[in-house]
Amino acid sequence: MSALSDLETWEPRYASRAARMQASEIRDLLSIVEKPGVISFAGGIPDPALFPLDDIRAAYQAVLASDDRANRAMQYSASEGDPDLRDWIVGYMAGKGVDCTRENILITNGSQQGLEFLGKLFLSPYDTALVGAPTYLGALQAFSAYEPVYDELRLDDTNRTALSYQDAASEAGGALKFSYVVSDFSNPTGETLSLAARTHLLRLAGELDIPIIEDNPYSDLRYDGEPVPTIQSLNLQACGSINGSRVIYCGSFSKVFTPGLRVGWICASEKIISRLILIKQASDLNSSAINQAVALHLAERCYDQQISKGRASYRLKRDAMLKALSAHMPKGASWTKPEGGLFVWLTLPEGFDGADLLQKSIAGFGVAFVPGRAFYADGGGKNTLRLSFSLPDIENIETGIRRLGALIGEVATPTP
Amino acid sequence: MSALSDLETWEPRYASRAARMQASEIRDLLSIVEKPGVISFAGGIPDPALFPLDDIRAAYQAVLASDDRANRAMQYSASEGDPDLRDWIVGYMAGKGVDCTRENILITNGSQQGLEFLGKLFLSPYDTALVGAPTYLGALQAFSAYEPVYDELRLDDTNRTALSYQDAASEAGGALKFSYVVSDFSNPTGETLSLAARTHLLRLAGELDIPIIEDNPYSDLRYDGEPVPTIQSLNLQACGSINGSRVIYCGSFSKVFTPGLRVGWICASEKIISRLILIKQASDLNSSAINQAVALHLAERCYDQQISKGRASYRLKRDAMLKALSAHMPKGASWTKPEGGLFVWLTLPEGFDGADLLQKSIAGFGVAFVPGRAFYADGGGKNTLRLSFSLPDIENIETGIRRLGALIGEVATPTP
């Protein structure tokens, strides 16, 4: 009786949500792409060549220099986060058109933890979350643990009325809880929501009276064009105060500095932040105090310089990828032309299967990417691929896209 | 329509679990004890005087020394955690009588995140979790987000049969999902589960065929007496393999090294770990790579030395608190005599109210503690207090307990 009577039967012991948290076939495929020699457009992770290592070393040294400060950096700390770091973020958010105070800021372990907390705060089983198709895979993973239903947020389709969303949510057996978007240089498509789409979203969310989660980790990595005002800033212009805002903004230091610190934040009305602090406390008490102190040290000294470095380097890589796509993609393929961020989204003719293509590509062409289907809540997007240009160097971008073009040209389009 | 129509009505937008995640009256009380001059027995946090600051400085310097290693420490990393750190923990667990491999280890942000993940994995609303009365407040906070029912785990009461637990769980409308204990020098009581109690628990969990969560962050801080085998090791003796074990062990570097790294772990069967890796991924992708590397550096170089330092220092503080309690507590008060850990549990005659006492104590006596009620899932324990001896120095322990004894003597016992 000491061992579990039948280990195969752990399954029935799990919460019902565990059924929504399965390992994905795509993730299994991607686990084999770390092989040397593979050119990977899969990751979507920042280029370590851009990490400000000397500044990082200096930051850790400074934070640990005096015993008093080192002891604070090594102790438990406030669940809401370091007050000085939150104050720096208040200044940063002002630059995004958002007037707020530190009471509006919660520090999270990267923006991923922000998404997890928001799922936890809002979603009961059968509630509806409005998400794009495609949308950020990590958001789907964070939300799915809370067993929602997804409905497709369409911002270019004026035929989809507020009432139609509401009816669908009622039919699904729960309430409409929030809409979720990556506003700038979205993961996975690289596209930026236009001002018109943002205005449409605010109007729709107003009609539905639901919050908008604005996930914006890539915002500072703009290579061309003019910034579009954040959705939160547009909302503040209308409602007057962050504490009356329906927009919940998720930010991160992972793309501009380094993901190793695991420091991100949520900016929202005090009422919501006070709820999220309780969730943070129950989840992991607080984010690492030393990493928050280091993030602040870096933010105060070299945020702008890091943005410039990132923009200059990624711009060249994006240009190289777009040029290679033009040169090597067969007719019928189309792709996004992002003004920033880390991703290009490739759409192939109907009939292509990204997962099948990935297998062939790794086996015979040494090129990896993410099949687009992973980013669809409804399993669509079979004929799409996400290509990240952040990690490979320019020569490998050219080589990789050439090989990928050759593969796509070779694969006979199956009958749809 | 741009602002939420009525901000007071955020409440109905939240998931049903939000009702279980309220700010506690006790936490509000404790937020005012950080005033200078207050002697605090409230915290339960490690003494920063014991942080190995020079080793910590050397560890960060070593991890950041070469660009290659620094880049890895600053990048995204595996959700399951650093393989070398997991290997070190495998060796550590061997010392706890647990034969396992790195596939049995998941790195978490302190053991608190482990508890949160286990709540998420196992609990659906109305499921039952068996917990002690009292038990660790943070475990109740982590689990309560998943809306369980609590039943009291009694290991000294042989009249409570497996059937009685099962009947109560069915009546509550869900399934019995797990039992939870802090095995050594428990938070909040400081008591250690006897071998007989561990054997009883294993038999009971076997009859109920449920997992046991063994939370054991204080285990290495033993000041007297002989170690009792971990529940996981006792289970392995019977079932033969970690992969057949029903015990899920949560460990932490927070008490022996520093909480600032936010590094803990779960050791369990591979089947459970593989599920928890998906939860980790959805929750915050991975724990800080640099903090994991620093934890490993410290663990390899000074784990034993830290244990010795901690034991020597906390033993004196425990002795001072027990001596002061004997000298200053009025008749009718009783307290635990812990062999390790950070806590003493004080029980006053029926009719005393710990929360009321805390208010009077802070206002007139400059002494803080945690009213015991916070550690009861059912709201019991009104006449109990948790006293931590880890943070004040020996003189303040004597002064604080003397003042507390005077207060308790002054307060007329209200009619029960």
CA nearest to A55 within chain B:
B64
Nearest-angstrom CA–CA distance, B250 and B112: 9
Using alpha carbons, select from B284, B215, B271 the residue that is nearest to residue B243: B271
Q: How far is CA B189 from CA A395, B183, B193, B251, in A?
A: 63, 11, 11, 19
Question: Nearest CA to CA, how far is A327 from chain B (Å)?
Answer: 32
Using alpha carbons, select from B107, B103, B88 the residue that is nearest to residue B304: B88
Are A135 and A180 in contact, with CB atoms under 8 Å apart?
yes
Are A7 and A337 in contact, with CB atoms under 8 Å apart?
no
Using alpha carbons, select from A42, A405, A13 the residue that is nearest to residue B212: A13
Rg of chain A over Cα atoms, rounded to whole angstroms, equals: 22
Does the beta carbon of B239 lie under 8 angstroms from any beta carbon of chain A? yes
Q: Could B2 and A291 be called an inter-chain contact, meaning their C-beta atoms sit closer than 8 Å?
A: no
Strand partners, A286: none
With cut-offs at 50, 70 and 90, classify the pLDDT of residue A10.
Answer: confident
pLDDT recorded at residue A7: 57
Nearest-angstrom CA–CA distance, B314 and A355: 57
Which three-class secondary structure state does DSSP give residue B258?
coil
Rounded to 5 degrees, what angle do the CA atoms A321, A326, A329 make?
95
The CATH number given to B17-51+305-410 is 3.90.1150.10
Question: Nearest CA to CA, how far is A332 from chain B (Å)?
Answer: 35
DSSP A229: P
Q: How would DSSP label each residue in B72-129?
A: HHTS---TT--HHHHHHHHHHHHHTT----GGGEEEESHHHHHHHHHHHHHPPTT-EE
Does the beta carbon of B54 lie under 8 angstroms from any beta carbon of chain A? no
Nearest-angstrom CA–CA distance, B358 and B379: 17
Using alpha carbons, select from A111, A239, A129 the residue that is nearest to residue B13: A129
Using alpha carbons, select from B227, B209, B206 the residue that is nearest to residue B218: B227
Using alpha carbons, select from B203, B187, B198, B255 the residue that is nearest to residue B229: B198
State how beta strands B384-388 and B343-347 pair.
antiparallel
Task: Give the number of residues written for chain A.
Answer: 416
Which residues of A, range 175-214, sit inside 8 Å of B by Cβ? Answer: 175, 177, 202-203, 206-207, 209-211
- For the stretch A75-85, pLDDT in tens is 999 999 999 99
pLDDT recorded at residue B416: 46
Are A79 and A285 in contact, with CB atoms under 8 Å apart?
yes
Helix axes B289-328, B394-410, angle to 10 degrees: 50
Q: Which residues contact A311 (CB under 8 A, 6 or more apart)?
A: A221, A222, A223, A340
What's the token pair of residue A349? 């003719």
Q: Could A240 and B124 be called an inter-chain contact, meaning their C-beta atoms sit closer than 8 Å?
A: no
pLDDT recorded at residue A180: 98
Contacts with A46 from chain B: Cβ below 8 Å: 75
Q: Which of A6, A10, A13, A203 to mutate to test the interface with B (most CBs of B within 10 A)?
A: A13
Using alpha carbons, select from A127, A132, A115, A173 the residue that is nearest to residue A17: A127
- For the stretch A194-227, pLDDT in tens is 999 999 999 999 999 999 999 999 999 999 999 9
What's the token pair of residue A384? 């799409």
Does the beta carbon of A75 lie under 8 angstroms from any beta carbon of chain B? yes
Q: Could A283 and B74 be called an inter-chain contact, meaning their C-beta atoms sit closer than 8 Å?
A: no
pTM (2 d.p.):
0.96
Helix axes A270-284, B110-122, angle to 10 degrees: 100
* The one-letter amino acid at A360: K
Q: Could A45 and B76 be called an inter-chain contact, meaning their C-beta atoms sit closer than 8 Å?
A: yes
The CATH number given to B53-303 is 3.40.640.10
Nearest-angstrom CA–CA distance, A357 and A362: 9
Residues of chain B with CATH 3.90.1150.10: 17-51+305-410
Strand partners, A251: A265
Nearest-angstrom CA–CA distance, B38 and B329: 20
Question: Nearest CA to CA, how far is A326 from chain B (Å)?
Answer: 31
Using alpha carbons, select from A351, A344, A347, A334 the residue that is nearest to residue A397: A344
Q: How would DSSP label each residue in A66-86?
A: SHHHHHHHHS---TT--HHHH
Nearest-angstrom CA–CA distance, B67 and B74: 10
Q: What is the dihedral of CA A94, A97, A100, A101, to 10 degrees?
A: -10
State how beta strands A370-371 and B334-335 pair.
unpaired
- For the stretch A88-140, pLDDT in tens is 999 999 999 999 999 999 999 999 999 999 999 999 999 999 999 999 999 99
Strand partners, A128: A149, A176
Nearest-angstrom CA–CA distance, A243 and A249: 13
For A74, the closest of B48, B141, B274 (CB atoms) is B48
Task: Give the number of residues written for chain B.
Answer: 416
CA nearest to A56 within chain B:
B64
Residues of chain B with CATH 3.40.640.10: 53-303
Are A139 and A180 in contact, with CB atoms under 8 Å apart?
yes
Using alpha carbons, select from B330, B349, B334, B332 the residue that is nearest to residue B415: B349
Q: Could B275 and A14 be called an inter-chain contact, meaning their C-beta atoms sit closer than 8 Å?
A: yes
Contacts with A20 from chain B: Cβ below 8 Å: none
Q: Could B284 and A112 be called an inter-chain contact, meaning their C-beta atoms sit closer than 8 Å?
A: yes
Q: Side by side, which strands form the sheet with B212-215?
A: B105-108, B264-267, B247-252, B212-215, B176-182, B128-131, B149-152
Nearest-angstrom CA–CA distance, B407 and B385: 13
- What are the residue ranges of helices labelled H in A150-269? 162-172, 195-208, 231-239
Q: Half-sphere exposure of B17 toward its Cβ, with a 13 Å CA cutoff?
A: 29
Q: Which residues contact B242 (CB under 8 A, 6 or more apart)?
A: B98, B99, B100, B104, B232, B236, B267, B268, B269, B270
For B284, the closest of A116, A123, A243 (CB atoms) is A116
What's the token pair of residue A48? 């370590």
Interval A377-394 mean pLDDT:
94
Q: Half-sphere exposure of A248 toward its Cβ, with a 13 Å CA cutoff?
A: 28
Q: What are phi and psi of A398, to 5 degrees?
A: -60, -50
Interval A348-376 mean pLDDT:
93
Nearest-angstrom CA–CA distance, A9 and B67: 47
Q: How would DSSP label each residue in B296-332?
A: HHHHHHHHHHHHHHHHHHHHHHHHHHHHHHHHHPPTT
Q: Which residues of chain B are under the pLDDT cut of 50?
A: 1-2, 415-416
* Number of neighbouring beta carbons within 10 Å of residue B5: 9
Nearest-angstrom CA–CA distance, A27 and B35: 50
Strand partners, B222: B340
Q: What are phi and psi of B166, to 5 degrees?
A: -65, -45
Does the beta carbon of A14 lie under 8 angstroms from any beta carbon of chain B? yes
Nearest-angstrom CA–CA distance, B45 and A200: 50
Which residues of B, range 387-406, sit inside 8 Å of A by Cβ? Answer: none
Using alpha carbons, select from A346, A327, A340 the residue that is nearest to residue A385: A346
* Number of neighbouring beta carbons within 10 Å of residue A172: 16
Q: Could A284 and B113 be called an inter-chain contact, meaning their C-beta atoms sit closer than 8 Å?
A: yes
Does the beta carbon of A19 lie under 8 angstroms from any beta carbon of chain B? no
The helix (run of H) or strand (run of E) holding residue B215 is strand B212-215
Instruction: Give the residue carrying structure tokens 């004026």.
Output: A158
Q: Which residues contact B305 (CB under 8 A, 6 or more apart)?
A: B52
Nearest-angstrom CA–CA distance, B83 and B66: 19
A33 pLDDT more than 60: no
pLDDT recorded at residue A1: 43
